[in-house]
Amino acid sequence: MNASGPSLLSGSTDDPVLAQADSEIARLWSAILASRWLVIIITGIFLFGGLAYAFLGTKWYRAEVLLAPEKDDSRSGLLSQFGGLASLAGINLDAGSDDVEPIAILKSYGFARSFIADEDLMTVLLANKWDSERKAWKAPQSRWPDERDAIKVFDDDVRQVVEDKKTGLVTLAIEWKDPVLSARWANLLVDRVNTRLQARAVAEAEGNIKFLKAEIAAGDLVPLQQASARLLEIELQRLMLARGKAQYAFRVVDSAHVPKKPVRPQKLVVIALAAIIGFLVSVLLVIARRALVGGGSHRLP
């Protein structure tokens, strides 16, 4: 009874692998304690850097617009009724009916390029490469940035478009160093998408109306004239709706407001990560020093 009791209590020490692991952990802990000032100093350096970045780093603000894509239900019904006739007449009733197109435009390279050019944002997005006093780029002329560099910054750091597949709602988010500009750009981008697609719809409807009027005037067959007259009526309705609908592609559910607090850097996260990384780096240095001096046989200062 007495012989079996100690063996159960000390079963973990009977395993040579576990015993060696425990011994190694104990030696490592002793090495860390012996080098505690090294650990404290290195961790403190990283922690100080994290604090400096958290409180002095550039603040980025996020403004969001919540959007609902507008659907042209009348066009989908017309497509089923008059799609064949319209295609024979050279009229595309299906153009612009896809909800994916406005989202694709909002994400597109060309849309970003025109926005940056119209708002003159090259030097704003690439401010770190621009000398505001000399009104010139800091780099030699052969290395001057161009619109591609500005668009890359805009795509990677500024613009974000997220579509909720369940609700169909779209969130356009703009992150920038100026909270006022972030809200302004977000609202302006939505206005530009709506204006562009509205102008295109008006131009298409006007072109179709002109074509149908000519077909009706030149047509000889009564059934074809009647069908063309129906299509003309439809295009006139579409033209009226397109002209009177300011939020043509997207309906703004919630417009962007000037954000009050920055989204990055996140102070607590930055400070915690800095402390953890600093501690891990210091431990790795202790292990490296221990290995160099002979596997821990010497006491580290």
Residue 4 lies in a domain: no
235 vs 181, residue with greater confidence: 181
Q: Are residues 25 and 92 in the same domain?
A: no
Residue 169 lies in a domain: yes
Residue 9 lies in a domain: no
Q: Are residues 66 and 173 in the same domain?
A: yes
Residue 58 DSSP code: P
pLDDT at 96 over 50: no
pLDDT at 100 over 90: no
Residue 249 lies in a domain: yes
Q: Are residues 234 and 287 in the same domain?
A: no
Q: What is the number of domains present in the chain?
A: 2
Q: Are residues 143 and 21 in the same domain?
A: no
> What is the structure's pLDDT at 183?
97
pLDDT at 112 over 90: yes
d(C-alpha 240, C-alpha 191), whole Å: 19
pLDDT at 66 over 90: yes
Q: Are residues 166 and 100 in the same domain?
A: yes
Q: Are residues 80 and 189 in the same domain?
A: yes
Strands 136-137 and 170-176: unpaired
> What is the structure's pLDDT at 92?
56
Residue 192 lies in a domain: yes
Q: Are residues 45 and 134 in the same domain?
A: no
pLDDT at 174 over 90: yes
- Tell me the pLDDT of the chain averaged across its residues: 82
> What is the structure's pLDDT at 294?
61
- Is pTM beyond 0.95? Reply is no
Mean per-residue pLDDT, 122-133? 93
100 vs 136, residue with greater confidence: 136
Strands 61-69 and 170-176: antiparallel
Residue 259 lies in a domain: no
Q: Are residues 24 and 77 in the same domain?
A: no
Residue owning tokens 């970003």: 112
Print the domain residue range for 146.
61-254
Q: Are residues 65 and 142 in the same domain?
A: yes
Q: Are residues 269 and 209 in the same domain?
A: no
pLDDT at 18 over 50: yes
> What is the structure's pLDDT at 206?
87
Report in angstroms the alpha-carbon separations of 5 from 9, 10, 13, 59, 201: 6, 9, 14, 63, 88
Q: Are residues 148 and 51 in the same domain?
A: no
Q: Are residues 121 and 237 in the same domain?
A: yes
The SS3 of residue 206 is helix
